[in-house]
Chain A
Amino acid sequence: MTVISPETASASRTAGIPALLKTAFVNALIALVLFSLMVGIRTEAGSDGQLTYWTRFGEVAALVAAVFGGSIVIELLRQWIGPAGTEKLIPPAVQTGMSLVGRYLAPALLVFTLLVPVIFYDQRYILDLAILVLTYVMLGWGLNVVVGLAGLLDLGYVAFYAVGAYSYALLATNFGWSFWVCLPLAGILAAFWGVLLGFPVLRLRGDYLAIVTLAFGEIIRLVIINWQELTGGPNGVSGIPRPSFFGIPLDNSDDGLAALLHIEYSTTHRIVFLFYLILALALLTNWVTIRLRRLPIGRAWEALREDEVACRALGINTTTTKLTAFATGAMFGGFAGAFFATRQGFISPESFTFQESALVLAIVVLGGMGSQLGVALAALAMIGGFELFRSLETYRMLVFGMAMVLIMIWRPRGLIGHRAPTVYLTKAQAISSDLVKEGHG
Chain B
Amino acid sequence: MDYFAQQLINGLVLGSIYGLIAIGYTMVYGIVGMINFAHGDVFMIGGFIALITFLLLISTGLTAIPVILLVVLLVSMAITALYGWTIERIAYRPLRHSFRLAPMLSAIGMSFVLTNYSQVAQGARVKPIPPVITGGYTLHESADGFVIQLSNIQIIVVITTIVLLAIFTWLVSRTRLGRDMRACEQDQTMAALLGVDVDRTISMTFVIGAALAAVAGLMYLLYYGLVDFFMGFVAGIKAFTAAVLGGIGSLPGAMLGGLAIGLIETFWSAYFSVEYKDVAAFSILIVVLIFMPTGLLGRPEVEKV
Question: What is A's interface to B at a CB cutoff of 8 Å?
Answer: 30, 33-34, 36-39, 41-45, 49-51, 53, 151, 153, 155, 200-201, 204, 206-208, 210-212, 214-216, 218-219, 222-223, 225-226, 309-310, 354-355, 358, 361-362, 365, 394-395, 397-398, 400-405, 408-409, 412-413, 436, 438-439, 441
Contact = CB atoms under 8 A, between A and B. Distances in A.
A71 to B, nearest CB: 11
A222 B279 CA distance: 7
A42 B120 CA distance: 10
Contacts of A201: 286, 289-290
Contacts of A206: 100-101, 104
B116 A37 contact: no
29 contacts: A34-B82, A36-B79, A38-B121, A42-B121, A42-B123, A43-B52, A43-B127, A45-B126, A45-B127, A51-B55, A53-B56, A151-B101, A200-B286, A207-B100, A210-B35, A219-B279, A226-B279, A309-B303, A358-B108, A361-B108, A401-B115, A401-B116, A404-B105, A404-B106, A405-B90, A405-B106, A408-B105, A409-B91, A412-B95
Contacts of B237: 211, 214-215, 218
A222 B238 CA distance: 15
Contact of B127 (A34, A51, A212, A441): A51
B55 A53 contact: yes
A44 B228 CA distance: 11
B50 to A, nearest CB: 10
B289 A204 contact: yes
Given A405-B91, A408-B95, A34 B79 contact: yes
Contact of A212 (B276, B285, B303): B285
Interface in B38-66: 45, 48-49, 51-53, 55-56, 59
Contacts of A41: 52, 55-56
B88 to A, nearest CB: 12
Interface of B: 34-35, 45, 48-49, 51-53, 55-56, 59, 75, 79, 82-83, 86, 90-91, 94-95, 98-106, 108-130, 187, 233, 237, 240-241, 244, 273, 275-276, 278-279, 282-283, 285-286, 289-290, 293, 303-305
Contact of A400 (B59, B75, B86, B112): B112
A394 B116 contact: yes
Nearest to A394: B120
B120 A211 contact: no
B128 A45 contact: yes
B112 A398 contact: yes
A401 B109 CA distance: 4
A218 B127 contact: no
A226 B289 contact: no
Contacts of A219: 279, 282-283
A130 B119 CA distance: 30
Nearest to B277: A222
A218 B83 contact: no
Contacts of A211: 35, 237, 240, 244, 285, 289
Contacts of A223: 279
A401 B110 contact: yes
Contacts of A398: 112-113, 116-117, 120
Given A204-B293, A400-B112, A37 B101 contact: no
Contact of A38 (B49, B109, B305): B49
A216 to B, nearest CB: 7
A201 B283 CA distance: 12
Contact of B122 (A38, A204, A354, A365): A38
Contacts of A402: 109, 113
Contacts of A395: 116, 120
A439 B305 CA distance: 9
A147 to B, nearest CB: 8
Nearest to A357: B108
Contacts of B122: 38, 42-43
Given A207-B35, A218-B278, A403-B109, A44 B123 contact: yes
A395 B48 CA distance: 19
B106 to A, nearest CB: 4
Q: Among B45, B98, B99, B286, find the residue whose CB has the most chain A CB atoms closer than 10 A.
A: B286
Contacts of A151: 101
A313 B10 CA distance: 50
Contacts of B98: 408, 412
Contact of B286 (A37, A45, A216, A413): A216
Contacts of A39: 121
A43 B119 contact: no
Given A37-B79, A211-B240, A405-B113, 8 more contacts: A43-B55, A206-B100, A211-B285, A216-B286, A222-B276, A226-B276, A354-B233, A404-B108
Given A398-B116, A405-B110, A38 B45 contact: yes
A223 to B, nearest CB: 7
Task: In the A-B complex, list the 3 residue pairs whose CB atoms are closest, starting with the nearest.
Answer: A404-B109, A401-B112, A401-B113
A49 B82 CA distance: 31
Contacts of A208: 244, 289, 293
A237 B249 CA distance: 44
A409 B130 CA distance: 43
Contacts of A225: 275
Contact of B82 (A33, A42, A354, A401): A33
A92 B263 CA distance: 65
A215 B286 contact: yes
A38 B48 contact: yes
A403 B108 CA distance: 11
Contact of A43 (B51, B187, B285): B51
Contact of B101 (A153, A354, A362): A153
A401 B91 CA distance: 11
A351 B151 CA distance: 40
B109 A405 contact: yes
